[in-house]
């Protein structure tokens, strides 16, 4: 049995808005700056306080660019989990 979701009369599309992670982080920071508590916002956004402070710190250090998610702006990870080029095939 499947479910069909239909918009209410006079509405079109889905009843929720689509938003990116960056949009959610920006909303989080704005509300913090407006004076809402870290603990209540973290509960509402479904994140730990550690993550909330991390988001705030990135914003304070880098501005809006600090809220960009890796991969969202074509950024690539700078870690090299398999060593550096030239190490492959070397025998110790």
Examine residue 55 and state whether it is found in any structural domain, yes or no. Answer: yes
Provide the number of structural domains found in the chain: 1
Q: For residue 36, is pLDDT > 90?
A: yes
Examine residue 36 and state whether it is found in any structural domain, yes or no. Answer: yes
- Per-residue pLDDT tens over the stretch 54-81: 999 999 999 999 988 765 544 444 444 4
Examine residue 2 and state whether it is found in any structural domain, yes or no. Answer: no
Examine residue 88 and state whether it is found in any structural domain, yes or no. Answer: no
CA-wise closest residue to 68 among 20, 30, 32: 20
The whole domain housing 48 covers 21-67
DSSP 17-39: ----HHHHHHHHHHHHHTT--HH
Record the pTM: 0.58
How confident is residue 17, by pLDDT bands cut at 50, 70 and 90?
A: low
As a whole number, the mean pLDDT across the chain is: 76
CA dihedral 16, 18, 23, 24 (to 10 degrees): 50
Could you give the CA distance from residue 60 to residue 50 in angstroms, rounded to a whole number?
A: 15
Examine residue 28 and state whether it is found in any structural domain, yes or no. Answer: yes
Examine residue 42 and state whether it is found in any structural domain, yes or no. Answer: yes
pLDDT at position 16 is: 58
């Amino acid at each position: 049995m499947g479910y069909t979701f239909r918009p209410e009369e006079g509405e079109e599309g889905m009843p929720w808005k689509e938003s990116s992670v960056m949009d959610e982080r920006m909303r989080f920071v704005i509300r913090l700056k407006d004076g809402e508590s870290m603990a209540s916002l973290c509960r509402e956004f479904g994140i730990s306080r550690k993550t909330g402070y991390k988001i705030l710190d990135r914003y304070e250090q880098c501005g809006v660019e600090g809220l960009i998610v890796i991969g969202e702006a074509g950024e690539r990870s700078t870690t090299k989990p398999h060593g550096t080029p030239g190490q492959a095939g070397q025998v110790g």
